[in-house]
Chain A
Amino acid sequence: MSEYRILKRPLLTPVTLFFGVLAVIGLILLAKRFIFGLGSVTNLNDGYPWGIWVVYDIMIGTAFACGGYALALTVYIFNRGQYHPLVRPALLASLFGYGLGGLSAVIDMGRYWNAWQIINPWQQNFNAVMLEVALCITAYVTILIIEFLPAVLERFKLETWRRRLDRVLFIFIAIGVVLPTMHQSSLGSLLILFGQKVHPLWQAVEFLPLLALVSAVTMGFAIVIFEASLVSLKLTREPETHLFAGLGRIARWLLVAFLAFRFIDLTRRDAWGYAFDGSFEAFMFWAETALFILPVILLFRESRPVHSPGMGRGPILFLSGVCVLLAGALYRINGVLVGFNPGPGFHYFPSVEELLVTLGVIAMEVVGYLLVIKLFPVLPKPHPEIDHGKSAATSQAPAAQA
């Protein structure tokens, strides 16, 4: 028996329809971008050549897509088999996150028809951080597809192929851990070359790859908690708190590590003064830091045998997950946009159309995710320790449809 099941729900629901409409709006605006140029949709300019499409769709989007990476580390490397039921949903979210991140990169390219040069060995520049990022993300999308294949083979009952794949799957699992380690750290290294344009609170130079990597892994754990909470709340009504409480315990130590590296870096570069100069950047730094510290407090309280009454474990974990995701997102926005100053005379704030494209990309992920979990065995089977009679009854209720 597989640990996974197909969610028996109608494919078309008001939720999918809503996100479907958002996705279509995004696609229409993308058509405009390709016909009239990047300037017709975005507020990009000579001082701010990278906007929300790069920062959200690629930098934040792929960090949000680190769930598969975080779980592969936990389950296959640290051998914590109990989290195995969460692997497939996380892999699926990673696949969408990375796939659309790669697609966003092409959309943002001013000369996308030359994108193939990235694999042209006569042109590759191995000094360029961007080359490593581009190659690694492309390779990782392929690996994610292979890692997700068992769900497809299981669906079509191709048992022979399934067994063959299982024998070599460990190779892809191992590569699937190395690749995100490489490109998530490099996404941080990209900022070294921005030099003096990046505010001292975020220009960590040698520390950038480490900070980017640790925050991305933490965001990977947070997204698993976030998605599993949403799915169990809205779709299956079966709390999986017992599964992801342990992930919260891992995430809190990663958060502590991130904050430690962050503070060590600010101290070594003598940059603390900027955090107290009353500037907008200082305010954003504290907003970001507060979002990193809050889940640490929540997660350490949550794990105590008796925690404060009022809020259940599930909501605390969910809230912590949301905080971590916002913190990691803000850290990236701050480094690349808020704390990015190309000099006097330049301003950037994303245009409405630019934001709608980003929303459209997120909507595509949601629609895709909802469709695939209803077509392939992705979601974990109900946990045997939980009273099934009740949850099975609620999951049949039409009100629970999403």
Chain B
Amino acid sequence: MKRRDFLKMAGSGAIIATSAGEVSARGNRPVSEEAVGMLFDATRCIGCRACVVRCKELNGMPPVTSEGAGMWDEAQELDARTLNIIKAYKGEDTQGQPEFSFIKRNCMHCVDPGCVSACPVSAMTKDPKTGIVDHHPDICMGCRNCVVACPYNIPKYEYNDAFGQIQKCRLCNQKGLERIDQGLLPGCAEVCPTGANIYGKRKDLLEEAKRRLSLKPGDEYHYPLNHLDSPFTAPAKVGEYQTHIFGEKEGGGTQVLLLAGVPFEKLGLPDLPERSYASMSETVQHTIYKGMFAPMTLLAGLLYVARRNTQDKTPDELD
């Protein structure tokens, strides 16, 4: 084959691939109507860590202890035994005034999760109704692409176990626990005494978050406890909010939403574009491989050329 012919062929392949791309380019996944999640309001958190303890209890996770210390949990970071954690931030604001905040970290249950897109064997799944991001260790081959692909570093692999598995928050609805299916609350929402962490449908939680942002600092507000429709509320003075709901748009949106009095980047949350990385990755991948058309065209061309270039040779010239 002449070089020019090949370039023509390759060029037309590229044109086919790119023009198909415009059709198949996918945006962020939509939020399911029934999607559930949590709203964490850092201005309400007192750092009691009841949610951390309850999470460990329900998920059968042992405490993380340091040598010589007592039998209490000392986890400093999320790890394969700590699926939910409260961290403290201490710093200065732009005027040099001291500021302080707690932050709860756990799986954000992304609307368009990178871990689900990355998993080659569908061991990471997103429930089509509740939107809960679940994991299936019996399928998982431990490639840890989900860990690399999670903007929040949530899935954790058990490196010190010959038969380790991926651990992550499954909103207490995994097989064997199924608290959401039974009408119960995720452990961390069930025990929160101040209403800092509440459970609900994502759309209602988003509405609640917007309502809180519209309140005047210093006014009294009745913060619902444990879940949005709770008959119990905690009356309190409204704090100073950052006018930003983390998770409304970040990386295509998350089902766990965050409100805080200090900027989120100071609380260790990444600065993410509105378009999910999953949608970017899948757009590129499906553009190239739409209907396997481009690879098949390439193969057909190569078959023709390779046959022509090998057929007039003696066997010894070949291999």
Determine the residue in chain B with the shortest Cβ distance to A188: B284
Considering only residues 183-202 of chain A, those with a C-beta below 8 Å from chain B are 185-186, 189-190, 192-197
- Write the B274-308 contact mask toward A (1 if CB under 8 angstroms, else 0): 00011011101110110000010011001101110
Considering only residues 16-62 of chain A, those with a C-beta below 8 Å from chain B are 34-40, 42, 44-47, 49-50
- Taking CB atoms, residues of chain B closer than 8 Å to A81 are 313, 317
Considering only residues 105-138 of chain A, those with a C-beta below 8 Å from chain B are 105, 108-112, 114-115, 117-118, 120, 123-125, 127-132, 134
For residue A286, CB closer than 8 A to chain B, the reply is no
- Taking CB atoms, residues of chain B closer than 8 Å to A185 are 288
> Chain B interface residue count: which class?
35 or more
Once the chains bind, are A189 and B281 in contact (CB under 8 Å)? yes
- Taking CB atoms, residues of chain B closer than 8 Å to A150 are 318-319
Q: Contacting chain A: which of B59-67, B116-124, B193-201?
A: B116-124
Determine the residue in chain B with the shortest Cβ distance to A151: B319
- Contact A114/B288 with A2-B316, A37-B158, A174-B299 known, Cβ cut-off 8 Å: no
**Distance from A138 Cβ to chain B, minimum over Cβ atoms (Å):** 12
| Complex-state Cα separation, A77 to B309, whole angstroms | 7
- Contact A193/B117 with A44-B159, A76-B306, A170-B310 known, Cβ cut-off 8 Å: yes
Once the chains bind, are B117 and A128 in contact (CB under 8 Å)? yes
- Taking CB atoms, residues of chain A closer than 8 Å to B142 are 109-112, 114
For residue A1, CB closer than 8 A to chain B, the reply is yes
Once the chains bind, are B319 and A46 in contact (CB under 8 Å)? no
Considering only residues 315-345 of chain A, those with a C-beta below 8 Å from chain B are 342-345
Once the chains bind, are B118 and A114 in contact (CB under 8 Å)? no
For residue B236, CB closer than 8 A to chain A, the reply is no
| Complex-state Cα separation, A177 to B162, whole angstroms | 38
Once the chains bind, are A40 and B302 in contact (CB under 8 Å)? no
Once the chains bind, are A193 and B278 in contact (CB under 8 Å)? yes
- Taking CB atoms, residues of chain A closer than 8 Å to B307 are 170
Q: Which of B6, B268, B277, B305 contacts A195 (CB 8 A)?
A: B277
For residue A156, CB closer than 8 A to chain B, the reply is no
- Taking CB atoms, residues of chain A closer than 8 Å to B161 are 37
**Most chain B beta carbons < 10 A, residue from A170, A193, A342, A344:** A193
- Taking CB atoms, residues of chain B closer than 8 Å to A84 are 317
- Taking CB atoms, residues of chain B closer than 8 Å to A127 are 117, 278, 281-282, 285-286
For residue A303, CB closer than 8 A to chain B, the reply is no
- Taking CB atoms, residues of chain A closer than 8 Å to B288 are 185, 209
| Complex-state Cα separation, A367 to B215, whole angstroms | 72
For residue A163, CB closer than 8 A to chain B, the reply is yes
Once the chains bind, are B122 and A343 in contact (CB under 8 Å)? no
Once the chains bind, are B120 and A114 in contact (CB under 8 Å)? no
Once the chains bind, are A174 and B306 in contact (CB under 8 Å)? yes
Q: Which of B80, B160, B285, B311 contacts A189 (CB 8 A)?
A: B285
- Taking CB atoms, residues of chain B closer than 8 Å to A194 are 148-149, 277
- Write the B153-175 contact mask toward A (1 if CB under 8 angstroms, else 0): 10011111111111000000000
Q: Which of B147, B270, B315 contacts A343 (CB 8 A)?
A: B270
Q: Which of A75, A108, A120, A208 contacts B121 (CB 8 A)?
A: A120
- Taking CB atoms, residues of chain A closer than 8 Å to B303 are 170-171, 174
Q: Contacting chain A: which of B133-141, B181-189, B205-213, B239-247?
A: B133-141
**Distance from B14 Cβ to chain A, minimum over Cβ atoms (Å):** 10
- Taking CB atoms, residues of chain B closer than 8 Å to A396 are none
Once the chains bind, are B289 and A132 in contact (CB under 8 Å)? yes
- Contact A46/B120 with A34-B162, A169-B318 known, Cβ cut-off 8 Å: no
**Distance from A117 Cβ to chain B, minimum over Cβ atoms (Å):** 4
For residue B48, CB closer than 8 A to chain A, the reply is no
- Taking CB atoms, residues of chain B closer than 8 Å to A386 are none
Q: Which of A46, A111, A112, A171 contacts B78 (CB 8 A)?
A: A46
Q: Which of A39, A147, A342 contacts B160 (CB 8 A)?
A: A39
Determine the residue in chain B with the shortest Cβ distance to A110: B142
Q: Which of B147, B272, B313 contacts A49 (CB 8 A)?
A: B147
**Distance from A371 Cβ to chain B, minimum over Cβ atoms (Å):** 20
Once the chains bind, are A78 and B118 in contact (CB under 8 Å)? no
- Taking CB atoms, residues of chain A closer than 8 Å to B141 are 109-112, 114-115, 117-118
**Distance from A80 Cβ to chain B, minimum over Cβ atoms (Å):** 10
**Distance from B287 Cβ to chain A, minimum over Cβ atoms (Å):** 9
**Distance from A151 Cβ to chain B, minimum over Cβ atoms (Å):** 7
- Contact A3/B316 with A38-B164, A120-B121, A193-B118 known, Cβ cut-off 8 Å: yes
For residue A175, CB closer than 8 A to chain B, the reply is yes
For residue B144, CB closer than 8 A to chain A, the reply is yes
Known: A111-B141, A194-B149. 8 other contacts (CB 8 A): A38-B157, A46-B80, A109-B141, A111-B137, A111-B163, A123-B121, A128-B145, A175-B299
4 A-B pairs with least C-beta separation? A110-B142, A39-B159, A111-B142, A150-B319
Binding site for B on A (CB under 8 A): 1-3, 34-40, 42, 44-47, 49-50, 75-79, 81, 84, 87-88, 105, 108-112, 114-115, 117-118, 120, 123-125, 127-132, 134, 147, 150-151, 162-163, 166, 169-171, 173-175, 177-178, 181-182, 185-186, 189-190, 192-197, 205-206, 208-209, 342-346
21 cross-chain CB contacts under 8 A: A3-B316, A37-B162, A39-B159, A39-B160, A49-B144, A49-B148, A75-B309, A77-B1, A81-B313, A110-B158, A123-B121, A124-B122, A128-B119, A150-B319, A169-B319, A178-B295, A178-B298, A189-B281, A193-B149, A195-B149, A342-B153
